[in-house]
Each structure stands twice: as C-alpha cells, then as structure tokens.
Amino acid sequence: MKTRSFSQSLLFAVTLCCSTTVALAGSAASLKAGKAELKSAGPLAFGPDGILFVGDTVGAAIFALDTNDRTPGRGTNRSFEIKGINQKIAALLGTEADQILIHDVVVNPLSRNVYLSLSRGRGPEAVPVIMKAEASGKLTELSLENIRYSKVDLPDAPDPSAKDRRGQSRRLESITDLKYVNGNVIVAGLSNEEFSSTLRSIPFPFQAANKGASIEIFHGSHGRFETNAPVRTFVPFDINNKPYILAAYTCTPLVTIPVSELKPGNKVKGTTIAELGNRNRPLDMVVYRKGGKDYILMANSSRGVMKLPAANLDKYQPITTQTEKEGVPYETIASLKGVQQLDKLDEANALLLMDDGGSLDLRSVPLP
Amino acid sequence: MEGGSFIVEGWRPGPDAPASGWQSIFSVYAGDNDVPPMLGTYTVENSRLVFRPRFEPSPSIRLRAVFRPPSGSPVEAVFEPKHAKAAPSTRVEHVYPSTDLLPANQLKFYIHFSAPMSRGEAWQRIKLLDGQGVPVELPFLEIEQELWDRDYRRLTVLFDPGRIKRGLYSLEEAGPALEENRRYTLVIDSGWRDARGVPLTGEYRKAFSVGPALRSAVEPARWKIHAPPPESTDALRVQFDRPMDAALSTRLLTVQRNGVPVLGTPSLAEMETEWRFVPSQPWTEGEYTIVVDTFLEDLAGNRVGRPFDVDVFEQVTKRVEKSSVSLPFRIRR
C-alpha cells in the first residue's frame, strides 16, 4: 500500500511538472528567431519564462524578447551595486555619459539579473540598446541581431513611415508604462497631439487578429468625475484575490482599476484611493510583502520614496471630497533621494537607479 | 586607426584568440577614468589584429588603445577628440497657440524648432514666469519620455490637468498654473542642445494674458465657410468661433466630394482661428463636404460634441460618440 501510494504521488508530481513545462513552452514557442528591429526601447516588463517586453514608441509596437536568461538567481540577500552605470555604459558604447539616456530598469524575477533600456544618443538618430547588468558588475548587451522574438503593432497607431497627402504625420503615442498581467500586456500611452491617455490590454502570445483596443479611464476626484489624466506608472496588485492595477497619475496619485474591466471599448472608472497632492510626480512603483503585510513603494520626483500600507486598499474610502491629506497614510523614506527607477530585486530587496550628482548608481536596498 | 577600426601593427596574432579573449590583449577605451573597454568585434585580417567598435565612437571623446602583448610591456596609443562643437544655429521657430490671450484652462503648447533637437533636458529648459517674473511651480506635466514628434523638431508641452482649476482642490496641492486676468511669460532657455549637442542661438519668450476658462464643446455648426469660385485653386476658408489646436486642425479636417477625398494642402491662418485648404486641382461646380474628425480640440482640450470636463459619468456612457461630423458646402458661380 505504501509503495503504491508513493508511486501514485510520484506520478502526480511528474504529470504536474510536465503540464507546467508545456504551459511555459507555450509562451516561448510563439517567438521566432530573427533580427528584432526596434526603433526605440522604452518601458520594460518581464513576462513568464524570461520573456522581456519592450515598448517601442517610435516603431509604435510592443516586442517580446527571449532573454534566454532562465537560470535561477541564488539567495535573497545578495547586494547589488554598480556605481556610475551611465559612465560605464557610455564607455562600452563609445560615447559621452550625457549621451546615454536610461529609460527603464527591470529585474528578471527568474535570474535576478537587471535589464536596462536606453538610447545611445539623444536626437532622432539615437540607437536603442538593451543591456544586462549582473550582480558581479558585468555589463553585456542583449543583442537583437538574432534573437527569438515576436512583435505586435499598437492598434490605431498611424504607420510611422506613411506619407499621406498632407505629408508625414507628426503624431506619436508615447508608451509611458507597460506590465504583463494574467496573460495580457497592459500598455499605458500618451499622445503628442490629441489629449488622450490610453490603456490597452493586448493578449500574449501576440495574435495578428487581436491587438487589443484602447480603454478610456475616468477617475473620480473632488466630488466630480474628470476626464482622463495621463497614467504615469502602474503595477498589478491583487485585492481580495481579484487582480487590479494600481495606477498613479499626477493630480490623484493612486487609483485602483479592476483588471476584469480592461476590455476593449470599455470606459472604465478608476477609484481614487490616495490624495497626495499634485506637487507629486510619480515615477515608479512596486508592491511587496514584509512581515506578513503588503506595501507599496513609490518613487516620486519631489517627495522621494514613499511607503504605503496596501493591506486594506479596498476598505479605504474613495476620495470624493476636498480634504487635507486623506486616504492611505504614507511614510517617506528620507534616506532615498534622487531615485529615478525602482524594481523588486527579490523578496527582501529593491533595486534602485539613483542620481548621485550626475553619476547614476544602480544599487539594491532592503525593502523598508 | 583606419576607417573606424583599430589595428595592431607590427605584431602577428596567432590563429586563435587567447583563452581570456582578444580583449585581454587589445582594448580601446572611450573616456579617461576607470571605465570598461568599448564593445566591439575582433578579427584577424592580413595577419593583423583588428578591432571594430560596436558603434562609431563619438568624435568628441579621447580614445585610448592599449595593446598588451603576451610578452613585453603594454603599448598605448591616444587618439585626441576630432573637432570642436559647431556654432549655434538652431532656434525656436514658433510656439503655438499663436494668440497672446489664452484661456485659464489652456491645455498645451507646441514648440517648433528650426532643426532636430536632443531629448532629456526639456524640463530644465522651459519655465513659466508669472507677472512678477517668478517661476510658476510645476505647471507642466513633466513626462520623462518627452512628447517629441519623429524628427525631434516639435515638442508638445502639456499643462498638468490636475492643476487646471475645476473647483476645489486640497491644501496639499498647488493652485492652478494659470489664473484669469494675469500675465505670464513662457521662457525657453538658450542652453537647450540640439541634436548636434549645440545650444540654441538665443532665448525665446512668449508673453501672454489669461482669460476665462473655455468649457464648451466645439461646435462645427457655428463655423463660417467661405467657398471659393469654381475653376479656381483659391483657398477654401473656414472661420472657427475660437482658436483651435494647431496640430489637430491641420490633420483632422479634410475635404470630400461624393465620398472621395479631395487632394490639396491645408494651412492655418489668423492665429489658428481660420483653416484654409488649397486644392491640387481647380474646384469644379457642385456639392462638397468638409469632414471634421471629432478628436479635434480647441485650446482647452474641448472636442467636437464633448467638453474636456465631464461632469457626470453616466452622460458619457449614454452619449452616442460619432467619429466625424460633416459640413456640406457648394462651389458655384
């Protein structure tokens, strides 16, 4: 009896393992080897299985790149520090430090290696580059020449090279943030002409027929409903086991939006949960768990890094009336200044890109 | 150095790279401090070791090539920066809107440059000064990506919609950026570098006054259409009832005849209160239509059939949203 139950449980375990492998292979299998022709490299997000999503504003597309970086990283208490990473990258790429613009920094949750999207050059001839940084300090380029990838064009985006009878369109939609949530890539965009801030939910693996469609976000504040203010940054978050996104604007810094409502053509109402004042410029956010409780860590331009408890986000009253400083109470982490980018390195540490008087340092700090 | 490649002369490399790679023997550094060597590829050509950098190095950097032969001391060669920066020649050509009376809920500026610019410093280079010359705190939405067009010759600057007065705002917040009956100056700093890395020829200022907020939808029915005569290529002229967004009114108004687009060149006049259209072929007598895309905005972001602020959410979902509005007109003697 013991023997049989042992082998039954072993069979069960093996079956589970195989089905998981099949599921992972499903995502990566949609990628084909070739040259990934990015015209720009902006916001980054990791999907399953070491797949890196890249927002290409100039090419009006989202790329899925196979980083082939799946070896699990070791331990949760390694520290990470690369000082002057902008100067080092500039030297690697043969240019001055101020000709390197770092657009985003994300951590591969599998390997704990850090990926950066950047421009070499600051004008229309700028070349997009994606670099990998390891805890050892090693910096390598993620070559796009022969890489497994797939790509989806952003819907409703005018063909960048199309000349209509009126001449070339100057309209561009800047991708301000993107994240992989439950099988979809959610993309926040902001047009340089008509005032529109969009969220798009695009299924991955990318399908030719379904490019997602834009969703208009309205949010409530001050007792009236306002039209869409640009989503600056957002992060997926579960409330009561339901997936939401937590999105930061400028005037009403935090809203929650149920992922189930992010369907094409929907007009979605976000719920304001934090009123932190419009002097605040949210740059980046992560959600983490410490001591059995959930927290949000947010980097802001003027307020530094803020820590907010996320435990009862659904219970906070939506802000609808004028108040002083209501909603979610927050704590400012005074020791962290000049933070430009923020991501989770592992369960205990955050990875920050910090400006230390012109030298950009990539370093880990314990999650506060 | 030959044609962008770095070549070691007078030393014959073996057929294979050493165990620690060619870079351990021969590296080129861009920059003086303790920096990693440039990325690139190594080949052996005509019995010489050749290094080709991944990117053509910037001409303004000093390059140091260091050759460390397996036996013997290192040999270093320095390549000085090539040329000095060019003289300033790029300037601000125009800032839209052209008018010097803006509504209190003005939504954006378009800054046009005479040549491609570089990005990454817009927010240090643009200031809004109040009537006393004091900078207004954070009036604009400072997007890290910066909203340039593809050529980097036009920058879209958005006023922070959260600062636009809609009623009450909390004590935590700064007040509205623009207040009615006050004067302001938009200042563009000459230090802003163009795509060559060279500053502008000079500072640019746009002084303006602020009038009441504009909160009504754009209504094409209120426009005046001046039809040109047949057999001419005179401009069709449409007079708006208010200044319109410069980029959108250039792109979102088209002319059709029997459902077929009429080819021609649009332009704006009278400080964006008038749209003109010169046809490629002479007009012929008959019925035409001006098609207005409902994304067209005025200076405060009000669209066709929809004001910028929506007071009641339910109204938005019930309203039937058309994508365009048609204005018929006739060409006749």
Cα–Cα dist B106/B212, whole Å = 10
- Locate the domains of chain B by residue range: 6-79, 92-211, 220-331
Q: Please, which pLDDT band fits residue B16 given cuts at 50, 70 and 90?
A: confident
Helix (H, G, I), strand (E, B) or coil at B77: strand
Comparing alpha-carbon positions, the chain B residue that sits nearest to A60 is: B150
Strand partners, A246: A235, A256
Nearest in space to B215 (alpha carbons), one of B146, B166, B169:
B166
- pLDDT at residue number B59: 87
- State the burial class of residue A30 (Cβ atoms within 10 Å of its Cβ: 0-12, 13-18, 19+): middle
Does residue B267 sit at the A interface (CB-CB below 8 Å)? no
Return the amino acid letter for A346. D
State the pLDDT confidence band at B317, using cuts at 50, 70 and 90: very low
Give the mean pLDDT of A280-303: 83
Q: What angle do CA A213, A231, B315 make, to 5 degrees?
A: 65
The answer to whether residue B283 neighbours chain A at the CB level (below 8 Å) is: no
pLDDT digits (tens, 9 = 90+) for A51-74: 999 999 999 899 999 999 998 877
Closest CA to B270 of B95, B94, B114, B97: B97
CA gap A89, A92 in Å, rounded: 5
The whole-angstrom separation of Cα A72 and Cα A108 is: 10
Q: Which residues of B touch A225 (CB under 8 A)?
A: 310-313
How far, in Å, CA of B275 to CA of B148, rounded? 24
| CB atoms inside a 10 Å sphere around CB B256 | 14
Rounded distance between C-alpha atoms, residue B42 and residue B20, angstroms: 13
- The mean pLDDT value of chain A amounts to 79
Q: Read off the pLDDT of residues B144-186 as tens digits, 9 standing for 90 and up.
A: 889 999 899 999 999 987 676 555 444 445 678 899 999 999 9
How close B224 comes to chain A (CA, Å)? 23
d(CA A340, CA A282): 10
Percent of chain A with pLDDT over 90: 39
User: Worst-scoring range by mean pLDDT, A131-145, B232-246, B303-317?
Assistant: B303-317
Select from B299, B304, B242, B252 the least CA-distant residue to B95: B299
User: What DSSP element (H or E) covers B107?
Assistant: none
Lowest mean pLDDT among A285-299, B155-169, B308-322: B308-322
- Please give the pLDDT value at position A253: 63
Written as one letter, the residue type at B110 is Y
Tell me which residues of chain B, numbers 183 to 222, contact chain A at a CB-CB cutoff of 8 Å: 193-196
> How many Å apart are CA A229 and CA A265, to the nearest integer?
18
Question: How crowded is residue A168: how many other Cβ atoms within 10 Å of its Cβ?
Answer: 14
Q: What is the pLDDT of residue B174?
A: 64
Does residue B26 have a pLDDT over 80? yes
Inter-chain touch B247–A170, beta carbons under 8 Å: yes
Residue A220 has what pLDDT? Answer: 55
Which pair of tokens denotes residue A74?
A: 């070791």
Quote the CA–CA distance of A230 and B283 in Å, as a whole number. Answer: 43
CB contact under 8 A, B150 and A323: no
Please give the pLDDT value at position B15: 72
Q: How far apart are CA B121 and CA B112, in angstroms?
A: 16
pLDDT tens digit string along A198-211?
Answer: 788 888 999 865 56
Asked if A287 and A294 count as a contact pair (C-beta separation under 8 A), the reply is: yes
- Report which of residues A317 and B87 the model is more confident about: B87
A283/B144 CB distance under 8 A: yes
Domain B92-211 in CATH 3.20.10.10: no
Min Cα distance A50 → chain B (Å) is 24
User: Residue A91's CB: how many other CB atoms inside 10 A?
Assistant: 27
* DSSP secondary structure letter of residue B102: E
User: What is the overall mean pLDDT for chain B?
Assistant: 89
The DSSP bridge pattern shows strands B204-211 and B101-103 to be parallel
Provide the ipTM: 0.88
B128 contacts: CB under 8 Å, gap ≥ 6 = B135, B136, B139, B140, B177, B184, B185, B186, B187
Tell me which of A5-14, B98-107, B123-132, B167-176 is least confident: A5-14
| Domain B220-331: which CATH number of 3.40.50.1220, 2.60.40.290, 3.40.50.300, 2.60.40.1220 | 2.60.40.1220
3-state helix/strand/coil string of chain A: CHHHHHHHHHHHHHHHHHHHHHHHHHHHHCCEEECCCCCCCCCEEECHHHEEEEEECCCCEEEEEECCCCCCCCCCCCCCEECCHHHHHHHHCCCCHHHEEEEEEEECCCCCCEEEEEEECCCCCCEEEEEEECCCCCEEECCCCCEEEEEEECCCCCCCCCEECCEECCCCEEEEEEEEECCEEEEEEEECCCCCEEEEEEECCCCCCCCCCEEEEEEEECCEEECCCCCCEEEEEEECCEEEEEEECCCCCEEEEEHHHCCCCCEEEEEEEECCCCCCCEEEEEEEEECCEEEEEEEECCCEEEEEECCCCCCCCCCCCCCCCCECCCEEECCCCCEEEEEECCCCEEEEEEEECCEEEEEEEECC
Residue range A77-98, pLDDT digits in tens: 578 999 999 999 999 999 999 9
Query: Which of A235-239, A269-273, B126-130, B199-203 is predicted least confidently?
Result: A269-273
- Phi and psi at A121, nearest 5°, equal 105, 155
Q: Do B152 and A91 touch (CB under 8 A)?
A: no
Neighbours of A185 (CB within 10 A): 22
Residue A214 has pLDDT above 90, yes or no: no
- Asked if A172 and B148 come within 8 Å (Cβ–Cβ), the reply is yes
The proportion of chain B whose per-residue pLDDT surpasses 90, expressed as a percent, equals 65
The position carrying tokens 């009403």 is A252
Integer Cα distance of A237 and A264 in angstroms: 21
Poorest-confidence range of A177-186, A276-285, A330-339, B254-263?
A276-285
Could you give phi then psi for residue B245, rounded to 5 degrees? Answer: -60, 130
Q: Is the CB of A94 less than 8 angstroms away from the CB of B118?
A: no
Does pLDDT of A363 surpass 70? yes
A148: left (phi over 0), alpha (psi -120 to 50) or beta: beta
Q: Is the pLDDT of residue A24 over 60?
A: no
CB contact (8 A) between residue A230 and residue B141: yes
Q: Distance from A73 to chain B by nearest Cα, in Å?
A: 25
| DSSP β-bridge partners for residue A120 | A100, A127
Measuring CA to CA, which residue among B138, B102, B100, B149 is closest to residue B300? B102
User: What are B248's two structure tokens?
Assistant: 């959108």
Q: Is the CB of A195 less than 8 angstroms away from the CB of B301?
A: yes
Yes or no: say if A128 and A56 are a contact pair by the CB < 8 Å rule: yes
> Per the CB < 8 Å rule, is B309 touching A222?
no
> CA neighbours within 13 Å on the CB side: how many for B21?
9
Which residues of chain A lie closer than 8 angstroms to B147, CB-CB? 172, 174, 190-192
Q: Is A2 on the interface with B (CB under 8 A)?
A: no
Better-scored residue on pLDDT, A7 or A288: A288
The per-residue pLDDT for A356 is 84
CB contacts under 8 A, A 180-209 vs B, are 190-196
Q: In B, which residues are within 8 Å of A141 by CB distance?
A: 39, 54
Q: What's the pLDDT at B225? A: 97
CA distance A16 to chain B (A): 43
Name the residue facing B310 among A168, A227, A278 (closest C-beta). Answer: A227
The single-letter code of the amino acid at B323 is S
Nearest to A136 by CA among A189, A80, A174, A177: A80
Cβ of B61 within 8 Å of Cβ of A251? The answer is no
Per-residue pLDDT, averaged over A270-297, amounts to 79
Q: Assess whether pLDDT exceeds 80 at residue B314.
A: no
pLDDT grade for A343, boundaries at 50, 70 and 90:
very high
pLDDT at A20: 40
Number of cross-chain residue pairs from A and B with Cβ atoms under 8 Å apart? 216
What is the Cα–Cα distance from B204 to B172, expressed in whole angstroms? 33
At A308 the pLDDT is 82
State how far the Cα of B213 lies from the Cα of B220, in Å rounded to an integer.
20
Asked if A272 and A222 count as a contact pair (C-beta separation under 8 A), the reply is no
Closest chain B C-alpha to A140 CA, distance in angstroms: 9
